[in-house]
Amino acid sequence: MYGFPSDLDLSAAVGQETTQFCVGPYDLQFSFGAVAFAVQSQVELHRDGALVATWQAGEWPAPAFYGVFSKPVSVVRVVDERRLCIALQDGTELHVLDSSDQYESLQIYVPDTKGPYII
């Protein structure tokens, strides 16, 4: 709804790994170290430049999502106002999308930041 700000600083996630995905009926939650995501919009998994899996509200994540466990983050970048890319050291990328013009798509919790980023 609000888009990813171009100056979004998620550098605290670099070098961190995820050890858990939490799946609710309409959200996917995961963290890289102390940087936590609560996503209600679409998440794509890319490997070697190809889309290999997609998650959206109301669905279970595809088994391919298990491949992100225990893989350190190499870089987090805002692709554009609708797409955030979390690149892992093995070449896998999680793309988190702001896919709604009417509703909030996700919240990002970053340490030492007042309140979450609402996207």
Note the pTM of the prediction, 2 decimals: 0.94
Instruction: Confirm whether 6 is domain-assigned.
Output: no
Q: What's the total number of domains in the chain? A: 1
Domain interval for residue 95:
11-118
Q: What are phi and psi of 113, to 5 degrees?
A: -115, 135
Instruction: Confirm whether 104 is domain-assigned.
Output: yes
Give residues with Cβ within 8 angstroms of 8, minimum separation 6.
78, 84, 108, 117
Instruction: Confirm whether 101 is domain-assigned.
Output: yes
What is Dmax (Cα atoms) for the chain? 36
Instruction: Confirm whether 22 is domain-assigned.
Output: yes
Q: CA neighbours within 13 Å on the CB side: how many for 102?
A: 0
CA distances from 77 to 23, 41, 81, 116 (A): 24, 18, 11, 18
Instruction: Confirm whether 5 is domain-assigned.
Output: no
For every one of its 119 residues, what pLDDT tens digit does the chain have, with 9 covering 90 and above?
Answer: 899 999 999 999 999 999 889 999 899 999 999 999 999 999 999 999 999 999 998 999 999 999 999 999 999 999 999 999 999 999 999 999 998 888 899 999 999 988 899 99
Instruction: Confirm whether 3 is domain-assigned.
Output: no
